[in-house]
């Protein structure tokens, strides 16, 4: 139990940051394209409490890998090209996670250098080592969240990306499956299929960065 709580304490801050930046990036891209909905709803904020979703938080606690936040409201009618606008808004979330993963990998190099300079200082054990673990967790969490959201299953971002790129008739058929999307994701997670899909991709990207 203590190991579980320790792991949760290390992964929780990076996870909160990852889902917050993910959702804010959706809203910021929509605002850039002319949609004020997210701003008016108070969702263009880095306060994680504004974005937390109970089920997404529970999924993270149980899987310690994936989770999600409340979707930022977006109204495609404000976009000059609604379909392309939704593609850009959908892509912004996963892209923000890959950028955070890259920045975390760069920060990790700096922390490792600082650790070498500090030697056996107490500061290293009490401050630097926990920061190192959280930074490694940030790389893992952001890569997992970015890859997870690119799965072509609505309502994940990958599903919305696909809907924006497919012919309208096929996009409509895919959109009809959206209400069952999270049921499919949960079944994939329970059966272990999700881990087998995400694991190799996340590991390859992690090895590329670290």
The burial of 190, by beta-carbon neighbours within 10 Å (0-12 exposed, 13-18 middle, 19 or more buried), is given as: exposed
The burial of 197, by beta-carbon neighbours within 10 Å (0-12 exposed, 13-18 middle, 19 or more buried), is given as: middle
DSSP 8-class letter at 180: G
- Residue 36 makes CB contacts below 8 A (sequence gap 6+) with 78
Q: CA–CA separation, 84 vs 33, rounded Å?
A: 10
The burial of 47, by beta-carbon neighbours within 10 Å (0-12 exposed, 13-18 middle, 19 or more buried), is given as: exposed
Is 178 noted as a catalytic residue in this protein? no
Choose, from 23, 112, 173, 178, the residue flagged as catalytic.
23
Helix, strand, or coil (residue 52): strand
- Residue 73 makes CB contacts below 8 A (sequence gap 6+) with 37, 38, 41, 43
Give the active site residues: 23
């Amino acid at each position: 139990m203590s190991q579980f709580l320790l792991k949760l304490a290390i992964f929780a801050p990076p996870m909160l940051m990852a889902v917050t930046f993910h959702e804010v990036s959706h809203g910021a891209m929509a605002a850039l394209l002319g949609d004020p909905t997210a701003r008016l709803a108070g969702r263009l904020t880095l306060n994680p409490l504004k974005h937390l979703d109970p089920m997404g938080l529970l999924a993270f606690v149980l899987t310690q890998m994936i989770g999600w936040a409340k979707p930022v409201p977006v109204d495609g009618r404000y976009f000059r090209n609604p379909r392309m606008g939704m593609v850009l808004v959908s892509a912004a979330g996963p892209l923000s996670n890959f950028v955070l993963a890259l920045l975390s990998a760069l920060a990790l190099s700096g922390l490792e250098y600082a650790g070498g300079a500090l030697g056996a200082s107490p500061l290293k054990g009490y401050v630097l080592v926990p920061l190192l673990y959280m930074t490694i967790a940030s790389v893992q969490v952001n890569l997992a969240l970015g890859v997870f959201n690119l799965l072509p299953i609505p309502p994940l971002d990958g599903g919305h990306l696909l809907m924006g790129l497919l012919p309208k008739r096929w996009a409509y058929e895919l959109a009809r499956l959206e209400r069952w999307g999270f049921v499919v994701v949960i079944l994939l997670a329970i059966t272990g299929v999700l881990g087998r899909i995400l694991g190799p991709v996340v590991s390859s990207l992690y090895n590329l960065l670290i």
